[in-house]
Amino acid sequence: MRYAIPVSGNMVSPHFGHCEHFALIDVDEQTRSILKKELLPTPGHQPGLLPEWLAQQGVSFVIAGGMGSRAQDLFQQNRIGVITGVLESDPEKAVLNHLNGQLAIGGNICDH
């Protein structure tokens, strides 16, 4: 399974569409471990671009601090799960915490 986490300054970006990079993290669900991590520069912030681009990268889940409802709908159309309101700042810890059912979630900070 592949996760995408928007990253700015090596930390989970609070605003999905304004990140510098995406951490793509491949995990083994059986062992709940990280197999591979790569950092890709964002292709830009254009309406509708990121959900399709991340789908092409084989992403199954997006973990983000905040994301607008339109982006969430587009991810759903691309069969990508979305987890917003993430309080963890370390991308790898966020994924591992999600796998272990321990990911702390607050409110979605985006309202558009």
Q: What residues does each domain of the chain span?
A: 2-99
Q: What share of the chain has pLDDT > 70, as a percent?
A: 95
Q: How far apart are CA 17 and CA 65, in angstroms?
A: 11
Amino acid at 57: Q
**3-state DSSP helix/strand/coil percent for the chain, to nearest 5?**
25, 30, 45
Q: Reply yes or no on whether the pLDDT at 13 is more than 90.
A: no
Question: What pLDDT does 26 receive?
Answer: 98
Point out which residues pair with 45 in neighbouring strands: none
Mean pLDDT of the residues in the chain:
90
Q: How far apart are CA 96 and CA 33, in angstroms?
A: 7
| Structural fold of domain 2-99 | Nucleotidyltransferase; domain 5 (3.30.420)
Q: How far apart are CA 63 and CA 85, in angstroms?
A: 9
